[in-house]
Structure 1
């Protein structure tokens, strides 16, 4: 895949970049290693000053960077502006809290005495250069939620961004340099995916984080396992959205529409499988389909647009294949399901009922504005359907029954359970999944500690 900005709204190539050659990659690896030696000794106050400055600059650049993101991957401009604003909040959150999150810990006094020590501390120290392999769907947020905690912990970052968002990738390197971080703290590597393996094998790279597809996750995990390097993986998701009879059905249906089509349906944590109790199934479905039909599909630069184009031509083809397979297998297409005429990689909001286990869309992630709806006999049946997936990223549950809330929190196989609200990520809370959705956690205290050497310092009498 070439490294280029191709506008998905019209298929036109805006700008093309030559991949960095081996010499340039080597220069940047050397710089990362050298910078880490000194940057690791800087104070939290110094790092926070730079990160807060980066937040201020991004806040000022909001409209500019939002337009870059929309041009590169097609999200509605209003959502791109919101993404940039979310990044600003996360940077300030880590700038304020990192020192406390990574403060030395003192074990229980009795345990210290029992070990024969006079003093024991547990300290968090940075690992070194961390390689981040990031996707195009949230081209700013996915990077910032790695970079903000990693830089505050004293690590340095090497970004291998998706090849269709090079302008966003270069903007990020420039942002951190303008903010005053030492040269080499955060570098963008304009390289193709084939170059990742060799970079990951380099001894100067100490760890890796990847958000992306299952195949990409397997490749990074395999090489990292061979090299015995720490990784955090956030992969696909096919999140369930459970609706029980006690729920506010109007609100559940309204939020369901947003939860499915956010970011043009191209979000790992978007609700994708809507599992509805039989007693409210017909009512919910009528409202949900009406809401999906009412969405405005069009130019993502227009503030009145709800759903823009899919990011790539292949991405649209993949969604079409899943829908067509379901149709051929007997599923009911309640709205959408047909590629529109005209330029751009658009696909309409689509709702599919009558899904069976043998259909591809039951097992695979639909990365576009396509929803599948299931009828459940009771809560146990709903949870069985929800867990019948290779993925386990997050989930959403709509009920007013406290026992049902507790039951779902206990039994749903996911990294998150959101009750009466749609799944979202927030700097203060750990984010990640289980099963084929990956491992490790981003954000919160857990996220900043993922790429730290947790060291026990034992002192004798």
Structure 2
């Protein structure tokens, strides 16, 4: 079985079978210098285009994504193991994202006029310049699309740094953008080392950064961005609670828990990692949850019938297995699953742990895999205390007929009521606490990377 050798470069090992599919050496310093020159030229070109020209570029990108949707979905699955039906949904979401920003961008960026008795103020949203996007691997083409789409409608060019184990989706996006046949490169992948990436962050010609990844890395990126006053959005870790109160529809809650925890093999920042259930309905919920979990099919991610694929790397599988074992050593109870599957793939069974409390690992660390930690609580107050007892604050979901009693009490950036948390590009998305700061998507996400220039005009 091939191992991920991060020190050598960007190595693509398919987690379904353990075979190497591609390898890319790290950029040399000369490669990086050229990329910085190209992204600067790209910005100079974009700064002279009209909003209509940029909208047309996005419509073209949306069409090109849809034209090769099958190929792109297979690439996502091969690259990080997502079941193919979920990869197909990811690709369609990417096309929809490009089209939506083309439809809404002009409204988001239009001049705002504010009148006072003495002055008229005009607020103009202007592009900042080249922006760095640092991606992770769990939604690789969605993140490649998120790298280019909001910046393109603004007029900012993009340096895109992929995860070392999943660079090919960003390289495919580069090909799509190149088919626009523009006079300059507006989307430039950079296959850089950590020190090289930090040099980019320190470069004052780079005017902003979007980061998606771990909390530890997010702190470092945010610190370096702050030193040069860059606009920044940091989307870091999450350990989202799902709260099931005594008036919940338990059948819907159980189905929701399975989708929210085991979708993308549990590898989502907004997965429902901690399931907090009122004792009055705990036994009935657990019976329904286990029944729904047993319906999942673990297997070849290219098989349309598969609902749970491998983890993205063998190292990730081993980490999750270790987290399960540590949780059990702390007193958690294994209710279902928990085994590493034999073979060359990075598979682990969907797992349910019960008897979990706030002193155990699932409350202290993000478990980025198919492991549901279930807590039993006696009251609404205890449910809220458990939900908030985490370093993170990305999302939360609640199953109840009276959401007004709990939603205002949750310390989080997003709350879903009787459904799961999901990113959706019409509205902003971001977290608080150790989950980061800033938002992407929606008008707020776009204008983060603009200069709100205020013009004062006397009356």
* TM-score (norm. length: structure 1): 0.96
8 Å CA contact retained: 1:146, 1:442: no
Gaps of 5+ in 2: 1-5
8 Å CA contact retained: 1:177, 1:183: no
Separation in structure 2 between the aligned mates of residue 458 and residue 347 of structure 1, nearest angstrom: 61
TM-superposition CA deviations, 1:10-38 (whole Å, max 9, x none): 11111111222111211111121122123
Separation in structure 2 between the aligned mates of residue 377 and residue 96 of structure 1, nearest angstrom: 48
Q: Give the match's secondary structure for 1:136.
A: coil
8 Å CA contact retained: 1:163, 1:192: no
Equivalent residue number for residue 315 of structure 1: 316
Is it true that 1:448 corresponds to 2:446 in the alignment? Answer: yes
Separation in structure 2 between the aligned mates of residue 431 and residue 141 of structure 1, nearest angstrom: 14
8 Å CA contact retained: 1:255, 1:422: yes
Q: Give the match's secondary structure for 1:417.
A: strand
Equivalent residue number for residue 243 of structure 2: 242
8 Å CA contact retained: 2:76, 2:82: yes
8 Å CA contact retained: 2:16, 2:346: yes
Q: How far off its partner does 1:194 sit?
A: 3.3
Separation in structure 2 between the aligned mates of residue 253 and residue 259 of structure 1, nearest angstrom: 10
Equivalent residue number for residue 135 of structure 2: 134
Q: How far off its partner does 1:182 sit?
A: 4.5
Alignment of 1:371-450 (within 5 A): 371-401=372-402, 405-450=403-448
Q: Which runs of 4+ in 1 moved over 6 A?
A: none
Equivalent residue number for residue 460 of structure 1: 458
8 Å CA contact retained: 1:238, 1:365: yes
Separation in structure 1 between the aligned mates of residue 201 and residue 341 of structure 2, nearest angstrom: 42
Alignment of 1:243-262 (within 5 A): 243-262=244-263
Equivalent residue number for residue 3 of structure 2: none
8 Å CA contact retained: 1:124, 1:452: yes
Is it true that 1:279 corresponds to 2:280 in the alignment? Answer: yes
Gaps of 5+ in 1: none
Alignment of 1:16-415 (within 5 A): 16-107=23-114, 109=115, 112-113=116-117, 116-117=118-119, 119-401=120-402, 405-415=403-413
Q: Give the match's secondary structure for 2:63.
A: helix
8 Å CA contact retained: 2:160, 2:187: yes
- CA gap of 1:365–1:206, structure 2 versus 1, over 3 A, is same
TM-superposition CA deviations, 1:400-434 (whole Å, max 9, x none): 12xxx123221111111110111111110110100
Separation in structure 2 between the aligned mates of residue 146 and residue 432 of structure 1, nearest angstrom: 16
Separation in structure 2 between the aligned mates of residue 164 and residue 440 of structure 1, nearest angstrom: 26
Separation in structure 1 between the aligned mates of residue 125 and residue 147 of structure 2, nearest angstrom: 17
Aligned residues: 452
Is it true that 1:12 corresponds to 2:7 in the alignment? Answer: no
Separation in structure 2 between the aligned mates of residue 358 and residue 334 of structure 1, nearest angstrom: 19
Q: Give the match's secondary structure for 1:85.
A: helix
* TM-score (norm. length: structure 2): 0.96
8 Å CA contact retained: 2:274, 2:362: no
8 Å CA contact retained: 2:298, 2:307: yes
TM-superposition CA deviations, 1:271-311 (whole Å, max 9, x none): 11111111111000111122223311110000111111000
> What is the root-mean-square deviation of aligned Cα atoms in Å?
1.2
Q: How far off its partner does 1:176 sit?
A: 1.4
Q: How far off its partner does 1:378 sit?
A: 1.8
- CA gap of 1:78–1:182, structure 2 versus 1, over 3 A, is farther
Higher mean C-alpha displacement, 83-92 vs 171-180: 171-180
Separation in structure 2 between the aligned mates of residue 287 and residue 100 of structure 1, nearest angstrom: 46
TM-superposition CA deviations, 1:307-330 (whole Å, max 9, x none): 110001111121111110111111
Q: How far off its partner does 1:181 sit?
A: 4.6
Q: Give the match's secondary structure for 2:192.
A: coil
Q: How far off its partner does 1:41 sit?
A: 2.5
Separation in structure 2 between the aligned mates of residue 441 and residue 258 of structure 1, nearest angstrom: 24
Q: How far off its partner does 1:236 sit?
A: 0.8
Separation in structure 2 between the aligned mates of residue 95 and residue 198 of structure 1, nearest angstrom: 33
Separation in structure 2 between the aligned mates of residue 173 and residue 151 of structure 1, nearest angstrom: 13
8 Å CA contact retained: 1:50, 1:180: no
- CA gap of 1:181–1:211, structure 2 versus 1, over 3 A, is farther
Higher mean C-alpha displacement, 365-374 vs 377-386: 377-386
8 Å CA contact retained: 2:144, 2:169: no
8 Å CA contact retained: 2:298, 2:308: yes
